[in-house]
Amino acid sequence: MMSNTTIVLGLVIIYIVVRSIIMFNKNNSNKSIDYDKLFNNFYNPALLLDNKDIVLDLNKSFLDTFNIKESEILGVKFKEVIENELLADKNDQISWESENKEFQIDQALLKGNKKVRLKSIPVDNNKRFVIFEINKDEVENLAFLLRNSRRKIKDLHNTALKMQKVRTEQEIYDLTVKAAENILDYDLCTLDIVEGDNLIVKATSSNIIAGESISSKLDSENLATYVYKNKCSLLTKDIQKKEYANPTSDKYHSALTIPVGDRGIFQAVSTKINEFSQEDLELVELLISHTLSALQRLELDQQIRYLGFHDNLTDLYNRHYIKEEFIRLNTKRQLPLSIIIGDLDALKLINDIFGHEEGDKYIKKASRLLKRCIRDEDILGRWGGDEFIIILPMTSDSEANNIIERIKNESKKTINEKIPISISLGKATKNKDDKKDINKIIEEADYLMYKNKSLIYKDQDNPIIDMIKKKFENDEIDQDEIYRLDSLLELIKK
C-alpha cells in the first residue's frame, strides 16, 4: 500500500501534469490532450466532465473503486451520479459548483463508507477533471488491512514450516487451530476428524465452553456433516436461518466451514451475523491445505517406516527391526530375557510339490498361529525365509517353555488340515547373572532348534511327512511333480 506522502506526491504530480498539458494546449491550439492515456495513468478514480457537468469519460480506477457499470455513468450529470449512485445516504447532498474553476469538496461519504475529497481541475474552457482522492483515514485503514493481510500470510507460511516438523496427528490438529486464531476473529473453532461413522472433535479453540462443540454421527444433519458430505467450503452469514445447520447454541450466527479432504472438517463460528469474508475463507482454505499436506506427509512417513520394519508377506516385524529391538532390550532391567527360534519343517518340499503360492500360504498360516500363542509384550518377527523369532522380555526359562508348549498344542490342532503346521523350536534364556552376549543367546536358541529339527524325520507321527505320504498314496499329487518326491523318499528311508 502506498504511504500518505506517496499519494499526496502522486496527486501533486497529476496536478502539475494536467496543468502543464492545459498550458501547453493554450500555447499550441493545434495540439490535443490524450485523455485516455491520462485516465489510464491516474492512480486515483477520475471523471472527465463537459461544461454542463455531463460525464464524458471515466478511468479504470473509478470502475474498480466504485464497482459501477460504465453505461450508468456516461452521459449523466455529475451531481446525479454522486447523489444517485455513490452517496451512502440518498438524503445527503453535496455542494457542487458548476463553474469551471479549481475547487475541492472534503469528505463526501460514499458507498462502502469511503470518505473522499473531490478535486475539480479545469482542462480547458469546455472540460474539467474531477479527481477522487481517498482521504487520510481511508488510506490508513487500507494500509492497516494490507499490513494485516501480509501478517496473516506470514503466519500461514510459518505454520506450514512448523507442520513439516511435527511427528503426530494431534500436533497437526492443535497447530491448525492455533494458526486459525491468528487469521480469524471468531468465538468458537473446532477441527473434527472422521473415525468410523462419527465426526470426532480433535482440537478446539481455548475459549470453548463444555457442550458447545460435540462429536456427531455422520448420518446426522448439521453444518459439519453437510460440508463433509458435499466436500465444499461454506461461508454462512447466519446459521440460525439454515434448516440443516442445527447449531449447538442459538447465540451463534455466522460460520466458516471447510472440509479437510476426506478426513473431516474445520469450522469457525461467530456470534455476529456475516462476520467472515471471502478473504477469510480463502486464507483458511490455504491453512487447511497445509494441514492436509502435513497429515498426508505424516501418513506416508508412517507407511514408509512400517514397510521398513515389517515383512511384506506375513506383516510381522522383519530382521532389521528385531536387531534394533535386541539393542534396546539388552539391558539388566529386561532380564531374564528369553528367545525362541522356530523353523518351518519341509517348506522347500511344500514349495516343490504344491508350488510357491501354497508355500507362502503355509508361512502366513504359521505366522498367525504364532501370534495367537504369544503375549502382548512379546515381539514376534520373521527372522529368515522359513524362520521366526520371538523375543520374550522379563521371561524366565520355565515361562518360555510354557509358550513353546502352547505353540506345539496349537500346531497339533492343524493335523487334519490340508497342510498342517509343523515347526521346530529352540529356546535360550539370558539371566540376570549371565554375562553372555545377546548374540550368544540367539546362537544357543538356533542350535537347539536345529537339534530338534534333526529329530523331526525320525518321528513316525510327523504331520508333514504323513500328509505327503497320504497324498502320494491316494494319487493326489500331479504326475509331473512325482519326481520332486525323490528327496523326501530318501529322508523317509533314513
Per-residue pLDDT of the chain (494 residues; tens, 9 = 90+): 445 555 545 555 555 545 554 554 444 444 444 555 655 666 778 888 888 889 998 887 788 777 778 888 899 998 888 777 776 565 555 565 555 555 555 555 565 556 677 777 777 778 888 888 765 555 555 556 666 777 888 888 888 899 988 989 999 999 999 999 888 888 889 999 999 999 999 999 876 665 566 788 999 999 999 999 999 999 999 999 988 888 878 899 999 999 999 999 999 999 999 889 888 899 999 999 999 999 999 998 888 888 899 999 999 999 999 999 999 998 889 999 999 999 998 888 888 778 889 999 999 999 999 999 999 999 999 999 999 999 999 999 999 999 999 999 999 999 888 889 999 999 999 998 888 889 999 999 999 999 888 776 665 566 766 776 666 666 665 554 555 555 555 544 44
Note whether 146-305 and 319-493 share their fold.
Answer: no
What is the pTM (predicted TM-score) of this model?
Answer: 0.59
Q: How far apart are CA 130 and CA 260, in angstroms?
A: 50
Residue with cell 508361512: 363
The pLDDT assigned to 475 comes to: 60
Protein fold of 319-493:
Alpha-Beta Plaits (3.30.70)
Task: Tell me the C-alpha distance between 367 and 313, whole Å.
Answer: 10
Which pLDDT score is estimated for 256?
A: 95
Q: What angle do CA 349, 355, 357 make, to 5 degrees?
A: 120
Q: What whole-number distance in Å separates Cα of residue 20 and Cα of residue 24?
A: 6
E strand or H helix that includes residue 313 = none
Architecture of the domain defined by 146-305: 2-Layer Sandwich (3.30)
What are the angstrom distances between the C-alpha of 127 and each of 47, 59, 62, 120, 435? 10, 15, 18, 10, 106
Rounded Cα–Cα distance for residues 393 and 377 (Å): 7
Q: What is the domain partition of the chain in residue ranges?
A: 4-134, 146-305, 319-493
CATH top class, domain 4-134 = alpha beta
For 166, the grid coordinates are: 511435527
DSSP secondary structure string, 399-420?
A: HHHHHHHHHHHHHHTTTTSSS-
| Sheet with 264-269, edge to edge strand ranges | 216-217, 198-204, 188-195, 264-269, 255-260, 234-236
Task: State the angle between helix axes of 356-373 and 397-412 in degrees (0 to 180), rounded to the nearest 10.
Answer: 130
The pLDDT score that the predictor gives to residue 32 is 45
